[in-house]
Chains A and B, each alone.
Chain A
């Protein structure tokens, strides 16, 4: 683990999360989570359904609060980091406002921050270019396919130039073909922006292809059971999926996920 607090983009220190504490249906979602994410890393969290991986992401985003332990983002408490707009977030659903055109959806976080109109429009255009949605600025969300909507949602998350990008199964609702293409695009965006990414997923292939590190979580109560370092060269592409290291990493994750089902510390 890293000694210097400043160099960790995300730091969780012995974090527990218990839902409905003190009531009859108390649920221990997360237990003894220690995590450091260094700048520029792409860290995936994978685990069985209901293992608390989304909760872990929400803890980092200060969308839920830990029952015990400390969550630091950019060296400050998670709440302060959220108020400072230190991170961008992408959910499984694109969550675009149907009454806003695509460009107005993308610039929403800038609007909330009070950025001047000319500036935010320019920034939004640039981002739409990056996610290959140029020409769709004035379209409305319902006029776009699911994959395109999710790309707009990624552009929105990047609008504030965050050092950290939180992604909660962003491609979970897409078909396999679109998903692979989106993985490629996300990889390129990650390389270009050098943003740190915390990525929750169900898909082993996706995790291995994108990540520098994969956290395998156990079934509830969720714990980080194993960490897989992915030593695949960057930039990655179609050839990556044929490399031996790719298969090895995939196998390692799969084996640990199999253990995760019955795992109790």
Chain B
């Protein structure tokens, strides 16, 4: 009894002693993100300062005129647009008299996100079922695992057009392509997680005459959850990539894949729009990742994060 409450008060004491006003965790997180962002931005613009194209006072927010001493090809305005040009692109219309780019990209993001979520759910479920089967049936594991691994060595770009032909171009085929990129990590980690319980825990379940079903749902599955969530976090971002790639051969125009294809062909006349689309894709991926992380934090809220001798 004393051990528990004692430890907690001790921790609280140490905190007050060493830092008078500790910043709350989310604030610290946001601050470090901001610092890294500023650093990256400085490097980006620094390269352009040394070896980019001419800085004209009317086209940068600081009104600076500067002739960089070198001309690196990679740092030209076409290859590496100024950051303010990229952010400005969000506000400009993407075509004449059209809505601002940010609205277009928002709609495209929602569109792609929906496809990705369906693919993620399909792939996650398939991955879990395969992992569970492999964990319980050794013969299946030996016979099928090599094919599952082989499926991941085939480039998605080769598979995608075939899926589109089989399922007709549409969001279903895109979701299937996203699922294809999603299921593998889930399979591997489900298998690993279901096998993770301590042998003594399995012995204990046997001693109390637990059925295979009970061993699965009361021991193996809860023990596998942290492993499965690790896989789902990988799959969340992979499913966005899968959905974007899936849109390319499907001829779907409403999503981020369509936008990338579109702005890629008009790159010469406006490179910042493609860059803005890339940023939008990244934001969608990060948002999905954070969503899965939040669900994980909720479901595993009662578990100890750090290792402990008594835990399973």
Contacts and interface: CB of A to CB of B under 8 A. Distances in A.
Contacts of A91: 200, 203-204
A222 interface: no
A149 B3 CA distance: 12
Q: How large is the interface on B (under 10, 10 to 19, 20 to 34, 35 or more residues)?
A: 20 to 34
Given A99-B302, A139-B4, A142-B304, A93 B208 contact: no
A140 B209 contact: no
A47 interface: no
A83 B303 CA distance: 31
Contact of B303 (A84, A93, A99): A99
Given A95-B200, A142-B310, A146-B310, A112 B3 contact: no
A95 B201 contact: yes
A92 B310 CA distance: 11
A141 interface: yes
Interface string A92-110: 0111111101000000110
- What is the predominant secondary structure among interface residues of chain A facing chain B? loop
Interface stretch (B57-65, B113-121, B154-162, B214-222): B214-222
Contacts of B308: 142
Contact of B207 (A82, A94, A141, A149): A82
A97 B310 contact: no
A97 B208 contact: no
Contacts, number: 82
Contacts of B219: 97
A108 B310 contact: no
A234 interface: no
B311 A112 contact: no
A146 B207 CA distance: 22
A146 B310 CA distance: 7
A140 B304 contact: yes
Nearest to A138: B302
A148 B302 CA distance: 18
A222 B3 CA distance: 40
Nearest to B309: A146
A89 interface: yes
Interface in B1-33: 1, 3-4
Contact of A97 (B4, B309, B312): B312
Contact of A94 (B3, B210, B225, B310): B310
Interface in B176-191: none
27 contacts: A61-B207, A82-B206, A82-B207, A91-B200, A95-B201, A95-B204, A97-B222, A98-B303, A99-B225, A99-B300, A99-B302, A108-B218, A109-B208, A112-B205, A112-B208, A136-B1, A140-B303, A141-B310, A141-B311, A142-B303, A142-B304, A142-B308, A142-B310, A142-B311, A145-B4, A146-B310, A149-B310
